[in-house]
């Protein structure tokens, strides 16, 4: 696997922290902070689509 460039963790108060990273092969990765050795991996376009859907309110029922 190509090296992953991880962003700083995104943390909610009292919740797990998540990290998003990208690699030079065009993949995007999401992992729980401290568990970066087992990320969810897909294309950057898939991550972009996920973020846009979340921002549009499609995951509000999970809050």
Burial of 18 (C-beta count, 10 Å sphere; 0-12/13-18/19+): middle
- Using pLDDT thresholds of 50, 70 and 90, give the confidence band for residue 2: low
> HSE on the CB side for 13, CA within 13 Å?
0
| In contact, 36 and 18? CB cutoff 8 Å | no
Average pLDDT, the chain: 91
- Asked whether residue 32 carries a pLDDT value surpassing 60, the answer given is yes
- Name the pTM for this structure: 0.78
Q: For residue 14, give Cα distances in angstroms to 11, 30, 46.
A: 8, 19, 28
């Amino acid at each position: 696997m190509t090296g992953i460039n991880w962003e700083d963790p995104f943390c909610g108060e009292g919740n797990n922290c998540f990290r998003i990273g990208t690699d030079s092969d065009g993949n995007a990765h999401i992992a729980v902070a401290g568990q970066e050795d087992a990320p969810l991996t897909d294309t950057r376009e898939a991550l972009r689509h996920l973020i846009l859907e979340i921002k549009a309110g499609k995951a509000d029922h999970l809050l």
